[in-house]
Amino acid sequence: MEQQERQSLGRIIAGLHWQVRVYFDNALAPFGLSSGTLPLLRSLLRRDGLNQQELSERLHVDKATITRMIGKRMESGYVRREKDPADKRAYQLFATQKAHAIAPEIKQVLRDWTAILSEGFTDEEKKQAFALLTRMRDNALRYREK
């Protein structure tokens, strides 16, 4: 129990975050991708045509961060942008054919990581973990908005 008392949720989550980054950075390196831009690509592979503001809100990152993420993925050929026909001041963002070509590999990396994290869990424990982690994320987002 003493070891458990020295741990905090924040410390456990920080350690898990580090492991996530290492895992995805290694798994995505052959594609010239990193863990940091994976959410951007996943969003565009799910729904092309989002604008920068929508992506920023969806990914819960500030505009400067999303701008850097988009720039890096445009340079590497995974994202393209076009003027928004409905708003000439804005751009719509699209996953390129290069991104669509690796979508199955990205999905497999995500499935593999989920399997690693939930190894030995019952179905009920998996549901509980998702529910609790989702609540923690939502709490953190509400706190950030204050």
Cα angle 58-113-45, degrees, rounded to a multiple of 5: 40
Q: Residue 61 phi/psi, 5° resolution?
A: -130, 155
- The DSSP symbol for 118 reads T
Q: How confident is the model at residue 5 (pLDDT cuts 50, 70, 90)?
A: low
Dump pLDDT digits (tens) for 100-135. Answer: 999 999 999 999 999 999 999 999 999 999 999 999
Structural domain boundaries enclosing 83: 2-145
pTM beyond cutoff 0.85: no
Domains identified in the chain, total number: 1
For residue 49, what is the domain's CATH number? 1.10.10.10
Dump pLDDT digits (tens) for 8-30. Answer: 888 999 999 999 999 999 999 99
Q: For residue 73, which of 90, 89, 50 has the smallest C-alpha distance?
A: 50
